[in-house]
Structure 1
């Protein structure tokens, strides 16, 4: 390959890469919208069929507040007294 051919190949690859970078967000958005549409359709079909929706999965961890929450609650409960 000559130098001109290599430059042309690099130019085509860069152009193709830029095209992919510009089109990729649109493709991701279309796929996401189709997934959401499918979930909505399934939920409507379940509602029309009289089925109860599947319960959401909950975490097995307890919901104990963190140390930062305890500290913030203590700070909020103090009232400023003006003299």
Structure 2
């Protein structure tokens, strides 16, 4: 190898090293986000299973928002 080839090799290695340093933080961020998403999904699934078990003992009274929306829908149907 002559001097030009060695300089070219060093330049490519430095460029590759800088590229790795720039990409590494975003790769860690993606991995962290995926882990957080997985933990959230597992917690939601666990909560869903607990709610399924509790749902038989709960009353089925609609919420105030549902009652209000039903009243507004019926008024729209009557007026049109």
TM interval, shorter chain, is 0.5 to 0.7
TM-score (norm 1): 0.60
Partner of residue 4, structure 1: 4
- TM-score, length basis structure 2: 0.62
User: Hey, what's the Cα distance between the residues in 1 that align with 2:12 and 2:39?
Assistant: 40
Higher helix share: 2
Count residues in correspondence: 51
- Per the alignment, residue 45 of structure 2 pairs with 45
- Provide structure 1 residue ranges, at least 5 long, that are not aligned to the other structure: 52-83
- 1:20 matched to 2:20? The reply is yes
- Paired residue for 1:54? none
What does residue range 29-40 of structure 1 map to in structure 2 within 5 Å?
29-40=29-40
Mind listing any 5+ residue stretches in structure 2 that lack a counterpart? 52-80
Of structures 1 and 2, the one with the larger relative CO (CA 8 A, separation 6+) is 1
Q: Which structure would you say has the larger Rg?
A: 2
